[in-house]
Amino acid sequence: MKIGVFDSGLGGLTVVKELAALIKGADIYYVADTKHAPYGEKTSEQIIQYSLNITQYLIDTHRIEALIVACNTATSAAIKHLREHYPSLIILGTEPGIKPAIQCTKTKNIGVLATPATLKGEKYQQLVSALSAQAHEKINLFEQACPGLVEQIERGDIQSPKTKEMLHAWLKPMLQNHVDTIVLGCTHYPLVGPLIEEIMHHKVRLIETGGAIAKHLLCQSEAKGHINEGPLRIFLYVTGEIQTQMIDHIIKQHEPLKKIDIDNQK
């Protein structure tokens, strides 16, 4: 099986890590679109075009059979268009794990950390409305946009004073309001998960969605005849600059990094 995965940068590698723990007998082709990062500050039209360009590249060059949109912002903006353009592909997106958070919380106070674009997106708003209506008890959501956090992570500044200061400010209201579950609404954010736990005094459960995506892909691919046996190879591609030491921190075994141009895809 040939699997394409993309994100604006390093974040989607947290999803690739979960895929690698579950999927066998496959080649994973990961595109970090760092030339256009961060997506959270781009228009929907721009994100749709980037997503279409990357998908076309993955189809033309690597003949992928499945696509993972490993970016909450791109999922919100582009997944409908991708499914319309490529109906034969298995296409899975990434959305904040509000549902598992509702199932886990004891205090009924849930934090959501996400990019500004994700929180404003129609897909996220619809998800929250639907799940809140289904909940048997009132759920309090403490939503926090995190502008600049993706950039800090991309630079490898995970433990820098600035990153700690940003997270302290954003998490203080959650700590004061007894939030016991925090949804990581961006695939970059698990990379600062230990710092979030430290600030919350380890009295919080973090919800990320990489594991659920891997299980969903395995189920769909096996339904189409994939036999989950054999070696797994991971190929990494980047459109701009990237912190290679961060890649090796997340994914231990992968093929050499290559630079590509996706802007001229038709």
Check if the beta carbon of residue 4 is closer than 8 Å to that of residue 68: yes
User: Which of 99, 79, 100 is CA-nearest to residue 90?
Assistant: 79
| Mean pLDDT for the stretch of residues 62-78 | 95
Domain enclosing residue 171, as ranges: 98-207
Residues 191 and 121 both lie in one domain: yes
Q: Is residue 237 part of a domain?
A: yes
* Distance, CA of 77 to CA of 71 (rounded, Å): 10
| Mean pLDDT for the stretch of residues 73-81 | 93
* Distance, CA of 113 to CA of 182 (rounded, Å): 7
Q: Is residue 177 part of a domain?
A: yes
* Stated pTM of the model: 0.92
pLDDT at 16: 97
- Domain end call among 169, 192, 207: 207
* Sheet strand arrangement including 140-145: 140-145, 109-114, 181-185, 205-207
List active site positions. Answer: 71, 186
Each residue of 207-235: pLDDT tens digit? 999 999 999 999 999 999 999 999 999 99
Model confidence at 197: pLDDT above 80 = yes
* Distance, CA of 20 to CA of 2 (rounded, Å): 13
Q: How confident is the model at residue 265 (pLDDT cuts 50, 70, 90)?
A: low
Residue 148: Cβ-neighbour burial (10 angstroms; 0-12, 13-18, 19+): middle
User: What's the Cα-to-Cα distance from 223 to each of 14, 44, 90, 180, rounded to whole Å?
Assistant: 25, 33, 11, 37
Model confidence at 144: pLDDT above 60 = yes
Q: How many CA atoms lie within 13 A of 136 on its CB side?
A: 2
pLDDT at 177: 96
Residues 113 and 83 both lie in one domain: no
* Minimum mean pLDDT range among 12-21, 26-35, 99-108, 129-138: 129-138
* Averaged pLDDT score across all residues of the chain: 94
Model confidence at 266: pLDDT above 70 = no
Residues 219 and 153 both lie in one domain: no
Residues 79 and 112 both lie in one domain: no
Of residues 27 and 43, more confidently modeled:
27
Each residue of 93-125: pLDDT tens digit? 998 999 999 999 999 999 999 988 888 888 888
pLDDT at 175: 96
pLDDT at 133: 83
Residues 193 and 102 both lie in one domain: yes
**The domain spanning residue 53 has which CATH number?**
3.40.50.1860
Q: Give me the percent of the chain exceeding a pLDDT of 90.
A: 83
pLDDT at 251: 93
Residues 222 and 246 both lie in one domain: yes
pLDDT at 190: 96
Model confidence at 56: pLDDT above 60 = yes
